[in-house]
Amino acid sequence: MAAKINIVIDQGATFNTTYTIHNISDEPIDFTGYTANSQIRKTYSSSSAYTFNVGLNSNGQVTLSMGAATTGSIVAGRYVYDVEVEDLTGVRSRIVEGIVTVTPQVTR
């Protein structure tokens, strides 16, 4: 089951956040060798998406980042996102999901 984590992105600013994901024994998951993908969409069925850069490590940490140019191109509002990982055997899992609130930029 995916962790529910809502995030706020400031439009036009560089975005970075890090989560630590634990297994059911409350131990950090070793993501060595895993690949990951993460996207923001206006709705679950939207065809257009914005992609996070995703970093994984052996201590269960998942880092999401997005450059200022990308966050600046997102219209302020409410969105949905998730993070999916794939292990070395090809098993894909959703580990994080939630709502993204993009706050409007004033200074340009």
Query: What superfamily would CATH give domain 3-103?
Result: Immunoglobulins (2.60.40.10)
CA distances from residue 17 to 40, 44, 106 in whole angstroms, order as listed: 14, 22, 22
Boundaries of every domain in the chain:
3-103
C-alpha–C-alpha distance, residues 99 and 45, integer Å: 14
For residue range 59-71, list pLDDT tens digits in order: 999 999 999 999 9
Residue with tokens 């055997």, as numbered in its chain? 89
Q: What is the pLDDT of residues 79-107, one digit of tens each?
A: 999 999 999 999 999 999 999 999 999 98
- Burial bucket for residue 79 (CB in 10 Å: 0-12, 13-18, 19+): buried
Reduced 3-state DSSP string for 50-68? EECEEEECCCCEEEEEECH
